[in-house]
């Protein structure tokens, strides 16, 4: 049995062993792909947090569209603007795996984050405080819960609560869908989950027994966590900046005006549907190895050609005739 989750941008198919996510935009098979934004220096974030989560506002080094390794300008539309504090969002919500057991938290504050399109909420539980993405009806004082238990029959989730994808029934709206199950690492970024834009959500629309590929699809596990509800601040897309200077204040530069021929991006050309993509976690980088070699080993010579230990004293292996 599979569950298909779809909206204008995303569609998810859930099977007993895997989950498939469909995105109609932002991931073209050919043509010009979106440039990396390079807003924040993740190495600076890792150094200041030391791999741990913190709800305190951070002052990070901004890249301004430059590659963190080479320093070259990659994205010409990013740079400048007012320097805002960075709030780390906890996208990995975990709870007990026993039935009728939940991890409850209270919403302390819902505020605007200048670095994101949707609102963020500060919640507190017995494990501490953390920032999460706020849904459209989330308010201060509300109690939200998290569970990792997957029942035999799917259920309708409550807005703001987090459940595994295999526990939600058709008709549920979800956001912040994890790409990999049982993965909780810090610091977290928007690339670790799907559906983080203001007003965006996915909807479980039907059960189906056959796999119907359509556009770009991703195979995920049913144990991946997701938050029920539509993300807040949906009116962000209707905002009018009024001038290029106001847009620049938020760190976005204007276009250069260079004419570029259309290349079929965003579905301007009809092509064959691509096969489903299976997401695999990246392997951690290997530790560098160091070796200490002697001069004899560095020479690479063997037999009578190898360097003797007494070479500095004039000794050699040559045989001179009598």
Say whether pLDDT at 49 is over 80. Answer: yes
Highest average pLDDT, of 93-97, 207-211, 251-255, 304-308, comes from: 93-97
Say whether pLDDT at 9 is over 50. Answer: no
Q: Is 42 helix (H, G, I), strand (E, B) or coil?
A: helix
Q: Which helix (H) or strand (E) segment is 244 a member of?
A: helix 244-249
* Cβ–Cβ under 8 Å, residues 10 and 230: no
Number of other residues whose CB lies within 10 A of the CB of residue 151 = 12
Name the nearest CA neighbour of 19 among 27, 28, 10.
10
Q: How confident is the model at residue 203, as a pLDDT? A: 73
Q: What is the mean pLDDT of residues 43-68?
A: 90
Number of other residues whose CB lies within 10 A of the CB of residue 133 = 27
Instruction: Give the Cα separation of 18 and 222 in Å (integer).
Output: 6
pLDDT band for position 23 (cuts 50, 70, 90) = very low
Q: How confident is the model at residue 143, as a pLDDT? A: 95
* Cβ–Cβ under 8 Å, residues 155 and 168: yes
Higher pLDDT, 149 or 30: 149
* Cβ–Cβ under 8 Å, residues 161 and 148: no
- By CB neighbour count within 10 A (0-12 exposed, 13-18 middle, 19+ buried), where does 209 fall? exposed
Give residues with Cβ within 8 angstroms of 54, minimum separation 6.
88
Instruction: Give the Cα separation of 280 and 310 in Å (integer).
Output: 55
Say whether pLDDT at 255 is over 90. Answer: no
pLDDT tens digit sequence for 152-202: 888 888 999 999 888 888 878 888 888 888 777 788 888 888 888 888 887
Instruction: Give the Cα separation of 37 and 26 in Å (integer).
Output: 13
Say whether pLDDT at 263 is over 80. Answer: no
Q: How confident is the model at residue 74, as a pLDDT? A: 87
Instruction: Give the Cα separation of 168 and 202 in Å (integer).
Output: 12
CA-CA-CA-CA torsion sign (132, 135, 136, 142): negative
Alpha carbon separation from 41 to 44, 51, 69, 72 (Å, rounded)? 5, 14, 10, 14
Q: How confident is the model at residue 144, as a pLDDT? A: 94
Higher pLDDT, 15 or 101: 101
pLDDT tens digit sequence for 119-163: 999 999 999 999 999 999 999 999 999 999 988 888 888 999 999
Q: Which two tokens stand for residue 58?
A: 């951070």
Q: How confident is the model at residue 308, as a pLDDT? A: 59
Q: How confident is the model at residue 29, as a pLDDT? A: 44
- By CB neighbour count within 10 A (0-12 exposed, 13-18 middle, 19+ buried), where does 247 fall? middle
Instruction: Give the Cα separation of 93 and 54 in Å (integer).
Output: 15
Domain ranges across the chain: 103-253+272-278
pLDDT band for position 253 (cuts 50, 70, 90) = confident
Q: How confident is the model at residue 309, as a pLDDT? A: 60
The phi and psi torsions of 22 (rounded to 5 degrees) equal -115, 130
Is 2.30.30.30 the CATH number for 103-253+272-278?
Answer: yes
Higher pLDDT, 122 or 219: 122
287-294 CB contacts, 8 Å cutoff, 24+ apart: none
Residue % of the chain over a pLDDT of 90: 19
Average pLDDT over all residues of the chain: 77
Higher pLDDT, 137 or 211: 137
Name the nearest CA neighbour of 200 among 244, 233, 161, 156.
233
Report the range of poorest mean pLDDT among 35-49, 67-81, 167-181, 281-295: 281-295
pLDDT tens digit sequence for 265-300: 665 666 676 677 777 777 888 888 887 877 767 766
Alpha carbon separation from 22 to 91, 199, 217, 283 (Å, rounded)? 20, 18, 4, 25
- Maximum C-alpha span of the chain: 103
Instruction: Give the Cα separation of 260 and 246 in Å (integer).
Output: 26
């Amino acid at each position: 049995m599979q569950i298909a989750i779809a909206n204008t941008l995303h569609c998810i198919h859930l099977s007993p062993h895997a989950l498939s996510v469909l995105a109609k935009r932002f991931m073209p098979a050919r043509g010009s792909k979106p440039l990396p934004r390079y807003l924040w220096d993740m190495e600076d974030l890792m150094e200041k947090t030391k791999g741990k989560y913190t709800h305190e506002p951070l002052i990070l080094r901004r890249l301004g569209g430059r590659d963190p390794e080479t320093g070259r300008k990659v994205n010409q539309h990013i740079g400048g603007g007012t320097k805002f504090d960075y709030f780390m969002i906890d996208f990995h919500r975990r709870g007990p795996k026993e039935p009728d057991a939940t991890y409850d938290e209270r919403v302390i504050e819902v505020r605007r984050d200048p670095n994101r399109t949707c609102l963020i909420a500060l919640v507190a539980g017995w494990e501490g405080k953390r920032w999460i993405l706020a849904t459209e009806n989330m308010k201060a004082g509300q109690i939200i819960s998290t569970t990792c238990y997957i029942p035999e029959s799917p259920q309708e989730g409550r807005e703001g609560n987090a459940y595994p994808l295999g526990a939600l029934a058709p008709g549920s709206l979800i956001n912040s869908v994890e790409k990999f199950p049982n993965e909780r690492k810090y610091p977290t970024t928007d690339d670790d989950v799907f559906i983080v834009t203001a007003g965006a959500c996915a909807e479980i629309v039907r059960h189906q027994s056959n796999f119907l590929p359509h556009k770009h699809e991703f195979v995920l596990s049913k144990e991946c966590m997701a938050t029920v509800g539509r993300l807040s601040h949906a009116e962000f897309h209707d905002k009018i900046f009024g001038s290029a200077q106001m847009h620049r204040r938020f760190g976005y530069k204007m276009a250069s005006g260079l004419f570029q021929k259309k290349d079929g991006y965003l579905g301007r050309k009809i092509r064959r549907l691509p096969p489903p993509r299976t997401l695999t976690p990246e392997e951690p980088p290997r530790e560098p190895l160091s070796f200490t070699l002697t001069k004899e080993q560095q020479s690479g010579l063997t037999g009578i050609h190898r360097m003797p230990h007494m070479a500095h004293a004039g000794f050699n292996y040559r045989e001179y005739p009598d």
